[in-house]
Amino acid sequence: MGTSQETNGRALRRNAARRRTALVTGAGGFIGGHLVGALLAEGFSVRAVDRKSPDRWYQAHEGAESLELDLSAADACARAVRGIDDVYNLAADMGGMGFIESSRAACMLSVLISTNMLVAARDEGVGTFFYSSSACVYPVQQQDTPDVAPLEESDAYPAMAEDGYGWEKLFSERMCRHFSEDFGLETRVARYHNVYGPHGTFEGGREKAPAAICRKVAEAALTGGDSLEIWGDGKQTRSFMYIDDCIEGTLRIARGPRLEPLNLGTSELVTINELVDAVEDVAGTKLRRDYNTDAPQGVRGRNSDNTLIKRHLGWEPTIPLREGIAPTYAWIHEQLRARAPVSA
State which H helix or E strand residue 87 sits in. strand 86-89
Interval 37-94: pLDDT, tens? 999 999 999 999 999 999 999 999 999 999 999 999 999 999 999 999 999 999 998 7
Please state at what angle helix 272-283 crosses helix 209-223, rounded to 10 degrees. 40
- In angstroms, the CA 125 to CA 28 distance is 25
Report whether pLDDT(233) > 50: yes
Give catalytic status of residue 165 as yes or no. yes
266, 239 Cβ separation under 8 angstroms: yes
**% of the chain residues with pLDDT over 90:** 86
The full set of domain ranges for the chain reads 14-197+240-266, 209-237+270-313+320-339
Give me the mean pLDDT over the 230-256 stretch: 97
pLDDT at position 103 is: 84
- Of 11-25, 97-111, 258-272, the poorest mean pLDDT is in 11-25
- In angstroms, the CA 173 to CA 165 distance is 13
Superfamily holding 209-237+270-313+320-339: UDP-galactose 4-epimerase, domain 1 (3.90.25.10)
Task: Report the phi/psi class of residue 207: left, alpha or beta, with left for phi > 0 and alpha for psi in -120 to 50.
Answer: beta
pLDDT at position 206 is: 84
Band (184; pLDDT cuts 50, 70, 90)? very high
What are all long-range contacts of 246-249, with beta carbons under 8 Å and residues at least 24 apart?
246/31, 246/34, 246/192, 246/195, 246/197, 246/317, 247/31, 247/34, 247/35, 247/38, 248/315, 248/317, 249/190, 249/309, 249/315, 249/316, 249/317
Give me the mean pLDDT over the 308-323 stretch: 97
Q: Is the peptide bond before 139 cis (omega within 30 degrees of 0)?
A: no
Report whether pLDDT(313) > 70: yes
Band (96; pLDDT cuts 50, 70, 90)? low
**Catalytic choice (58, 88, 165, 196):** 165
pLDDT at position 204 is: 87
Give me the mean pLDDT over the 299-315 stretch: 96
Give me the mean pLDDT over the 130-159 stretch: 96
Per CATH, domain 14-197+240-266 is 1.10.10.10: no
Report whether pLDDT(344) > 50: no
Report whether pLDDT(152) > 60: yes
pLDDT at position 178 is: 98
